[in-house]
A and B are shown apart, each in its own frame.
Chain A
Amino acid sequence: MNKIYKNADEAVADIKDGAVLMLGGFGLCGIPENCIAALVKSGPKNLTCISNNAGVDDFGIGLLLQQKQLKKMIASYVGENAEFERQLLSGELEVELIPQGTLATRCMASGYGMPAIYTPAGVGTEVAVGKESRIFNDKEYLLEYAFDADFAIVKAWRGDADGNLVYKDTARNFNPLMAMAGKITIAEVEELVPSGEIDPNQVHTPGIYVHRIFQGKNYEKRIEQLTLTK
């Protein structure tokens, strides 16, 4: 068994036109920078992208938008991206906005082998249109389906040769959920260590979920809103 790939180019080489991708991260925090750059280079088109946000104009998923590589974006919040808004309003880009907890739980359901979940988020709003609902304990819930993604692309702080992953601080966010949900999961890590170097008690994502792992490089780790105590 070898899960270790040389670099991002090699790890994403078989992602073709029309693929459905999950990309971890919240805003620009914990995004798979290396894989996004590699996808911009390899250039698959008509991608469906499931991610909480759509990056900013010149970073993150914004780079894929610039190259018009996306057909559809599934996200909970897409502010801070003028090119996104332009493609949305012109009809070039299909967009499905869903509640953040629903997004997270639909990833989770996929990784837990559950076809669907019930959530109260969106009841009585346009999110509920066309969806089955059911009353439990006098409260209405919507039926939401697990995602079905070809590739999940995540970023972790540390990873080992077995694919075990550890995330740092709030860069965890959607990464462990998406890691569990991909038919093929690609993990880029800031530090790739030999098998046995990570304490089993500290593993966030067990290696069974991770098919490809590589040591990332040149992380920019851009801060979106630098806010300081004066």
Chain B
Amino acid sequence: MALTKEQIAQRIAKELKDGYYVNLGIGIPTLVANYIPEGIKVILQSENGLLGMGPFPVAGKESADLINAGKQTITTLPGSSIFDSAMSFGMIRAGKVNLTVLGAMEVSENGDIASWKIPGKMVKGMGGAMDLVASAKNIIVAMMHTNRQGESKLLPACTLPLTGIKCIKKIVTELAVLEVTENGFKLLERAPGVTTEEIISKTAGKLIVEREIPEMQF
């Protein structure tokens, strides 16, 4: 069975370590916050200027002055801090943020990512994604393995305008966990019940399958 979006988030959450500062993008990445393993402390960074992002407020406690980068109302936590946008990207650029999780439209076998523009169709802008992918040490992409037309999003080379080059380290899709290596995508894990053959058939870029591929554990 292919994973749900919640399960993709749940699998990514297993990559979190105690003391990590983490930036979660919009969409599936945001859901990762719901699965932070017990017993570890992870501090969420929101690039509009907050470290220590808390859960959404309960009704009546919302404030127009307190939002995340997705413009959703949020809360602070004990130990939170607030700063301006230059400092926010300063800490990202300086490599202080340990892990970035973001969505993508395409990832290439050398770790390039395209996520911000479909020429002639979608012009929304890159927001903070280009800054994040250019500087983060550890970047995980959370996305579906194929697009709505059923075409692979894991490609030999991206076809859409790039967000960043040679920066993606790991990809978690509804079918698989893959690592980006010097020789292409390396299959690490498959979703429960999904065959290696299905993953091979849905991966257009070079895929390395070195051994018997284990199923993901939750």
CB within 8 Å of B: which residues of A? 26-30, 52, 75-79, 85, 88-89, 95, 97-105, 107-108, 119-127, 157, 168-177, 204, 221-229
Contacts and interface: CB of A to CB of B under 8 A. Distances in A.
Which of the listed residues B73, B74, B126, B161 has the most CB atoms from chain A within 10 Å of its own CB?
A: B126
B173 interface: no
B204 interface: no
Q: Which 9 A-B residue pairings sit nearest by Cβ, starting from the closest?
A: A101-B89, A101-B131, A124-B165, A221-B64, A104-B85, A79-B124, A227-B72, A99-B130, A120-B134
B65 A168 contact: yes
B19 interface: no
Contact of B84 (A76, A173, A221): A173
A67 to B, nearest CB: 22
A184 B84 CA distance: 20
A224 B58 contact: no
Given A99-B131, A104-B88, A29 B161 contact: no
Given A99-B130, A229-B57, A26 B62 contact: no
A225 B129 CA distance: 20
Interface residues of B, number: 52
Nearest to A223: B64
B82 interface: yes
Interface stretch (B48-56, B144-152, B180-188, B208-216): B48-56
Given A103-B85, A124-B164, A169-B82, 12 more contacts: A26-B67, A78-B124, A99-B127, A101-B85, A101-B88, A121-B135, A124-B112, A124-B165, A125-B161, A169-B66, A172-B49, A173-B85
Which of the listed residues B50, B56, B67, B163 has the most CB atoms from chain A within 10 Å of its own CB?
A: B67
Contact of A104 (B73, B84, B166): B84
Contacts of A124: 112, 162, 164-166
18 contacts: A26-B69, A28-B71, A77-B125, A79-B124, A89-B123, A100-B47, A100-B131, A101-B89, A101-B131, A104-B84, A120-B135, A122-B130, A124-B166, A173-B85, A223-B67, A223-B73, A226-B72, A228-B56
Given A101-B131, A125-B130, A170-B65, A177 B86 contact: yes
Contacts, number: 175
A27 B73 CA distance: 12
Contacts of B86: 101, 104-105, 107-108, 177
A79 B84 contact: no
Interface in B33-81: 46-50, 55-59, 62-74, 76
B180 to A, nearest CB: 15
A174 B82 CA distance: 12
Which of the listed residues B46, B71, B88 has the most CB atoms from chain A within 10 Å of its own CB?
A: B71
A144 B83 CA distance: 22
Nearest to B75: A229
Given A170-B48, A170-B66, A223-B62, A99 B85 contact: no
B93 interface: yes
B123 A78 contact: yes
Which of the listed residues B63, B64, B89, B163 has the most CB atoms from chain A within 10 Å of its own CB?
A: B64
A120 B123 contact: no
Contacts of B164: 123-125
Contacts of B50: 169-170
Nearest to B134: A120
B70 A225 contact: yes
B64 A28 contact: yes
A88 B84 contact: no
A170 B49 contact: yes
Which of the listed residues A76, A85, A222 has the most CB atoms from chain B within 10 Å of its own CB?
A: A76
A174 B127 CA distance: 13
